Structure 1
């Protein structure tokens, strides 16, 4: 993609710095929100991460979920045991291959999570209402590309270890 920098490199750098600082603050605020919600539900932060990935991408095999949340499969087993006992997930065995397991969310408990996020969701609806459709598309593109940059950086760091 071609560079769209302004004619003043210093202004561009300052604006980019404000964005990066704002993304860091957003990360902190979302982490705090997740921690508060996890505390209300007696879930650890990684439990919420697993539930979020399953909600977005599931059902998944344990190994696919472990890759997506960046955990060793043996570590994930304990988390899945805890989530299953709490009524958050179900492990479904493939009838043709009993070794094959798929993990899915159970809707009743996950409604509790959505309920607790309603304040943030409502606030985000208010924020988005202040932007045009074209502006929202630009913001969505930026966030998607930023998430991809994060995935790439995570993958590169994982290769170093």
Structure 2
């Protein structure tokens, strides 16, 4: 939060720093997209397939409808994604034990070692980077990343809603 009364120089510095942070976040977004594109091509997936797989791994098991809601993708697009993920051995479509008509998506663990290997370079780089920060600084960074993620989700939801 900005203090109630900032002098003109502090306001300018805040604007410059805020702009620099937003620019860096845009650069980060592009770099992570390029990284994920390269990663997905190594495992013969499309970028959106990899995104959906990540959501299933993090939040699953879940229904296809819940996945559509979480991603904002069209149901017909999701069908193709799920077909590719299932064919590639990444997910299973299981029948719900209570409502046999309902399908539940579950990530399969057999291919996890392959993904861990592909992410290992990035994880190692991040581990090295994070050692340069104190615990208090890491908590501030974690809070910033969490709140930035929430802002991104809100903006995505707004665009999806029209």
Q: Same fold (TM over 0.5)?
A: yes
Whole-Å Cα distance in 1 between the matches of residues 118 and 25 of structure 2? 23
Once superposed, what is the RMSD of the aligned Cα atoms?
Answer: 1.4
Task: Structure 1: give runs of 5+ residues left out of the alignment.
Answer: none
The match for 1:42 among 23, 41, 44 is 44
- 1:159: Cα distance to partner? 2.2
The counterpart of 1:155, out of the listed 154, 157, 161, is 157
Other-structure match for 1:109? 111
Whether the 8 Å contact between 2:40 and 2:46 is mirrored in structure 1 is yes
> 1:48-87 maps to which residues of 2 (within 5 A)?
48-87=50-89
How many matched pairs? 159
In structure 2, do the counterparts of structure 1 residues 67 and 101 end up closer, same or farther at CA, with 3 Å as the change threshold? same
SS at 1:17 equivalent: helix
Query: Displacement, 1:110?
Result: 2.7
Q: State the secondary structure of the residue aligned to 1:130.
A: coil
CA apart distance, 1:154: 1.3
Residue 136 of structure 2 is aligned to residue 134 of structure 1:
yes
Structure-1 residue corresponding to 2:29: 27
- The two structures have a TM-score, normalised by structure 2, of 0.93
Consecutive unaligned residues of structure 2, counting only runs of 5 or more, are none
In the superposition, the TM-score normalised over structure 1's length comes to: 0.93
**Pairwise CA distance, 1:140:** 0.6
